[in-house]
Amino acid sequence: MDFLEEREKTSWDWQGRYLVISLSSKKAIKTLSHTYKIRRTPNVLFLIPGRQSKGASLYTHNLYGSPRIELLATLENTKDFPKSWENSRIEGNLPIFPKQLRNLHGEEVRVVSFNHPPTMFAKDHNNGSLTTLAGVDYWFIQSLGKALNFRPVFISTGPAQWGIILDNGTYTGIVGKRILGVHSEVYTIMKGQVQRGIGDIGVADLFITYTRAQYVAFTVPYTFSSACLLTPAPKELPRWMSIFYPFSLPVWIITIESYRTDAISLTGDQTPENTNLLKVKPH
């Protein structure tokens, strides 16, 4: 139980598949499903063997709303369960792991953000709430809420905005305030202050960096950003200088010096090596 409640960086696989086999009562399983790690891991099953040697009850949990467990199936023969696990199907051809994130049943999902035009237009009321919302990220969350059937409630990051990583390895700001993060760059599973239950989803114009990649698992981006450099337009040079356009100044200097060197060499070659051959003695 203590390990499942730990909120610091651990080796827990948030996207893993877990089967919890318990000889305890249904009430004990429900208590286990309330723990921090279980509540934030979609693929978790609870198997409670029956009083007789045959049969067992298979339960799953809900990620949002009031913590509860739901009966997924009643297995008549637990010997067939390993085969069901391998085929990802159980009796009745039901999926062994329900797609919990496909339908959140109208539950409230807390979205952490801040005013950052043009991706997010928001008014911070200094009480943790955001209103007057618009922008690309805002409309994306609204569309996502309709598709996954949840009610987004926007809360502020405060002055920390995107946040920084501290010496103790935790994040502040938007990165640190959620476990499930959706950005204009990424949809991710995050680690940080959300461990205290501050937010579920984070929205911001957040770029993928190496440091953040140590704490999150990125999926496919839904928008891309680009950067441009502005420089003054080049001025038109006088037309009489067009003759010098083909070469730069250093090239012109080297070319002129090479002509001077060749001229000196040619002049020196015209001097006779043996002047005695030009002298004629009278007879």
- Residue 221 and residue 249: Cα distance in Å, rounded? 48
Select from 177, 192, 218 the last residue of a domain: 218
- Residue 143 and residue 162: Cα distance in Å, rounded? 23
Mean pLDDT of 220-226: 77
pLDDT in tens, 176-198: 554 333 433 333 333 333 434 56
Select from 102, 136, 158 the last residue of a domain: 102
Q: What is the CATH number of the domain that holds 177?
A: 3.40.190.10
- In terms of pLDDT, which residue wins out, 94 or 134? 134
68 and 130 both lie in a single domain: no
- 266 in a domain, yes or no? no
93 and 132 both lie in a single domain: no
pLDDT in tens, 126-171: 777 787 788 888 998 899 899 989 999 888 877 777 766 666 666 6
- Which residues lie closer than 8 Å to 49 by C-beta, 6 or more apart? 21, 23, 55, 56, 78
Q: 3-class SS at 78? A: helix
Select from 203, 218, 233 the last residue of a domain: 218
- 129 in a domain, yes or no? yes
- Which residues lie closer than 8 Å to 113 by C-beta, 6 or more apart? 120, 122, 130, 137, 138, 154, 155, 156, 157, 174, 202, 203, 204
- Residue 271 and residue 264: Cα distance in Å, rounded? 12
Kindly state the helix (H) or strand (E) to which residue 132 belongs, with its residue range.
strand 130-134
58 and 143 both lie in a single domain: no
